[in-house]
Structure 1
């Protein structure tokens, strides 16, 4: 009889633990939100207000005044790469250059024409929010300046078995001028729909490598 009671008690405890875990996960997903939905300033000021996060992209914009002006004054959408995306790209580039006995490169001495080509991929012409990308196949976007075809698609993650019940993210892809999605290079967002005085900012996740796979070949001259 005691053995039966012990088994019964263990079963109850396990059930309670599973319930607590499930409830915690459920609550965790639904607590996800951008802490800053609207920023009182332009998109450039928003990037400048986050020291330690966007320092690298600000250095790039300093070298490309027309893009810096666009981010500050034009109706554009910024898919903002964080410092880690540049660190990954530069580390991989300089590892190759070490093997080739070449000097290391930094943002300050990267080829300006190539940097321009790559940076424009992160600035969409016009305002693109997650609501703009609700089409089944997402939305094709032209970049500011150099008209390069990119693609954005909103995804709602699942939470605790609820379809589309979790965090809202955006996939942002370089189409490589190719109609086959298997050839696209995709980045995912870690924050979306941060509205500024002149546009909107989506923050890309840290796993993305700046350049959508083109950084090494374009910069290692």
Structure 2
């Protein structure tokens, strides 16, 4: 009897520990780039709650005069991390040095109009999760081209979900492959040429999707290196630059002009 009671007690304790651990985990679900979770606050508040990844981004939002967009409007935001902004500013400064011009030492030197135009490429009206977007196959655009969506900047961007293959390995040897049956990866892409919108797309993969603050959805773009947000793991390595390419960023900033350094 004692043994049976002891065994039951051990089982109950084990089950309780599992349930307790599960409750303590972050409520995000992450599966190869897909994250589902809620955040009790606005998109702006969510970004501010993750300063390691978005401190510079929230500064840019403020400089662009777009706090209300991220705090009050219903939007879908493909969020670039702070490191992507620094990469583009670094590229801008390299270009300015080569041109014999003064470099940018403060983000405030880049005019609000430039920040707003670039940032708006990543923002779309309404709420759209991964399940709401069509399939894209970058190797077979004729069959699965994704779809064009107009950002609040007025520029049409391509958005689609890449259906990866499900591959089984034995050791390092591939044993089986099922087309399009693997994990799904959300992409937002810049279209360089509207006359041929399926060619030359500049793709930005999403590391964590379907994050749901109170006023919309956030899809966090992969940065260079592995993106790790508490409660998640990343499977993507990317070289995304804010503005999609350094060249686009430089052209936009220069078109509005650069302010001198102020004391």
| TM-score in same-fold range (> 0.5) | yes
Change in CA separation of 1:107 and 1:209 when aligned onto 2, cut-off 3 Å = same
**Contact 1:125/1:141, CA 8 A, preserved across alignment:** no
**Root mean square deviation, CA, Å:** 2.1
CA deviations on 1:64-108 (whole Å, 9 max, x unpaired) are 22x221111111001000012112111111111122232221422
Partner of 2:122: 122
- Distance in 2, Cα, partners of 1:218 & 1:32: 33
Corresponding position of 1:93: 92
| 1:111 CA displacement | 2.4
Query: Are 1:211 and 2:243 an aligned pair?
Result: yes
Indicate conservation of the 8 Å contact 1:187/1:205, yes or no.
Answer: yes
Asked if 1:178 corresponds to 2:212, the answer is: no
Change (3 A) 1:150 1:33: closer
Instruction: Count how many residue pairs are aligned between Structure 1 and Structure 2.
Output: 190
Query: 5+ unaligned residues in a row in structure 2: which ranges?
Result: 1-29, 136-143, 168-176, 224-238, 258-263
Asked if structure 2 preserves the Cα contact closer than 8 Å seen for 1:169 and 1:191, the reply is no
- For 1:6-21, list aligned pairs within 5 A: none
More strand by proportion, 1 or 2?
2
Answer whether contact 1:189 1:205 (CA < 8 A) is retained. yes
Q: 2:49 & 2:62 partners in 1: Cα distance? A: 16
Say which SS state the counterpart of residue 44 (structure 2) adopts.
helix
Partner of 2:212: 195
CA distance in 1: counterparts of 2:33 and 2:157, whole angstroms: 26
**Is 2:76–2:123's contact at 8 Å kept on the other side of the alignment?**
yes
Task: Give the Cα separation in 2 of the matches to 1:61 and 1:33.
Answer: 25
CA distance in 2, matches of 1:157, 1:195: 24
Which residue, 133, 148, 170 being the options, matches 1:140?
148
Specify the SS of the correspondent of 2:205. Answer: strand
TM-score, normalized by length of structure 1? Answer: 0.77
Equivalent residue, structure 1, for 2:173: none
Alignment partner, residue 156 of structure 2 = 149
